[in-house]
Structure 1
């Protein structure tokens, strides 16, 4: 995307006149406010911004943003967003999706928008449940999750959104929490990345999966279970008393004392460590948050634009010549029998 002139706006300018309709206490409210607060800091123009969503609770998002938007069909938001970006590469495109929308029926489309590296921001709201269809288990639901579709507990191994993104070739992967103060910083980093920026947001569903993330989001556990990553800084948590190091024998990560010389310095361009960070086991380990991986590469739409320009160089547009090219014939009107 080409650089745009910065536009002065306020958070209120980004809020539409539509009544926000989510369940009281839903984490979606916090994400919406974080996005609306972040947009003025990015200096974006509302008429140059597009929000595209699929189906699900999170996919009502475009109604509440005073921008252009598409509320599309289940799992196909990446396909529509790709069309938008190719039609007008100057637009700033945001994809809003959920764990069920993006990783179940939309898994194929999510994979391809990531590997193609379309310049867009993908915000995946992960509440580990299907909320809109009344609480069935989703691709990210944990083993043992009881729901209307798994009354005896889910036996599926859950998908890990960030691991899926990295495996699909994503060049930017990050995590945030719906109500955390750092979420706007994560959104800004995603927007600064040129290419497909994938952000998993842990979002609490108060009705069907309340407090599923409490073991690392609740105030009493946050310090000991949250590892906020910053490029060039040590991977420490629990007030600096603990850190993450590499077990060189097993080639896995391990928890060590915060002052241990072996504590890793976060390098957002290290793809191998990024894979380890998103797969860290739960017991005794924190949850990696912030920008986990950021290593830009040429974008899909820039390659398409360049290819089209090269193909058209030195040629004069002639639609009639194009449609007449190759084998043609003319249907003659037969004379009417008298």
Structure 2
């Protein structure tokens, strides 16, 4: 097993000699820097860290992190990452995927890594478009999206990555966006979680879906439409003048006004990261009437997949001596002479 003791590094230690090649202004640059700044805070060691990606703009990530990495095939990064974790459970695995790679051809693989609860951080960059293949509609594209594959507007109802993760049995689900100063906090929380930690990161595709998230993620003026969740704290936004309360008739969240800071009188809900039902309500809120729920939505650990596999292997091998020759000689055997005839 590798020594996973925290070590001291800097951002420079996580930068490679490769030219970072995304479109100028792409949100991937901001996410890359957020990750490179976060890894030293976590005490991570490059030699014990592996970044695994599929296909897409986001999947260039392993080239730009000074660690081990695999640039795999379309949608199969979760399967490769699972194999790495089972081969060496001590490794720190970061899986990088996109809304097309992870939720289209890779949806099946992503579902299983989540339900199995393999201990890794899963970053899904959601730009609501296929960027690498020139702007076709993706599984998360909004209804009416015009693209080369939907020239008169998409009629598909978009997938919700965080809802997909919860429905797949994920025990940690969070959201952030590319240029947010709070994104490292979300990454730190994901890394602390033992199990599959899923983070949806809204990412601006400057060429094919520019500023689609500006309603809540613009550099200035959108803060009032962001709800940053903190465990044990009231769900307040818009500078504390608004909050979310539970409509006990329809059993759903509702926006309420908070007068003079008295959130309790307004019935504002206190966030509980262990409450799965609350997490479902938060990810299903339609943006517009509601703020965008960001931060850690759900965090309720359970035993990891690799721990169960190791325990099973240990139990199966108890009292047994490894003897390959004996294993090969068990059952029906025969010897072939020099002439090729069985003896």
Residue of structure 1 in register with 2:215 after alignment: 215
Corresponding position: 1:298 with 2:303: yes
Distance 2:169 2:84 in 1: 22
Distance 1:196 1:143 in 2: 30
Give secondary structure in 1 for the equivalent of 2:296: strand
Corresponding position: 1:107 with 2:112: no
Distance 1:108 1:332 in 2: 50
Residue of structure 2 in register with 1:315 after alignment: 320
Corresponding position: 1:255 with 2:255: yes
TM-superposed CA distance for 1:221, in Å, is: 4.4
Residue of structure 1 in register with 2:168 after alignment: 168
Counterparts of residues 1-338 of structure 1 (less than 5 Å): 4-219=4-219, 221-258=221-258, 259-261=262-264, 262-332=267-337, 334=339
> 256-265 vs 228-237, which deviates more?
256-265
Distance 1:253 1:328 in 2: 69
TM-score by length of 2: 0.95
TM-superposed CA distance for 1:4, in Å, is: 2.7
TM-superposed CA distance for 1:323, in Å, is: 2.5
> 322-331 vs 92-101, which deviates more?
322-331
TM-superposed CA distance for 1:325, in Å, is: 2.8
- 1:174–1:95: structure 2 CA closer, same or farther, 3 Å change rule? same
- 1:335–1:159: structure 2 CA closer, same or farther, 3 Å change rule? closer
TM-superposed CA distance for 1:80, in Å, is: 0.4
Distance 1:103 1:300 in 2: 22
Whether the 8 Å CA contact 2:171–2:197 is kept in 1: the answer is: yes
Give secondary structure in 2 for the equivalent of 1:240: coil
- 1:194–1:151: structure 2 CA closer, same or farther, 3 Å change rule? same
TM-superposed CA distance for 1:335, in Å, is: 7.0
Distance 1:3 1:318 in 2: 29
- 1:335–1:276: structure 2 CA closer, same or farther, 3 Å change rule? closer
Whether the 8 Å CA contact 2:2–2:48 is kept in 1: the answer is: no
Task: After superposition, give the CA deviation of every residue in 1:68-105 in whole Å (9 maximum; x if it has no partner).
Answer: 00000000000000010000011000000000000000
Distance 1:332 1:222 in 2: 81
- 1:3–1:184: structure 2 CA closer, same or farther, 3 Å change rule? farther
Give secondary structure in 2 for the equivalent of 1:239: coil
> 154-163 vs 315-324, which deviates more?
315-324
Distance 1:199 1:210 in 2: 21
TM-score by length of 1: 0.96
TM-superposed CA distance for 1:257, in Å, is: 1.6
User: Mind listing any 5+ residue stretches in structure 1 that lack a counterpart?
Assistant: none
- 1:197–1:288: structure 2 CA closer, same or farther, 3 Å change rule? same
User: Mind listing any 5+ residue stretches in structure 2 that lack a counterpart?
Assistant: none
TM-superposed CA distance for 1:256, in Å, is: 0.6
> 199-208 vs 213-222, which deviates more?
213-222
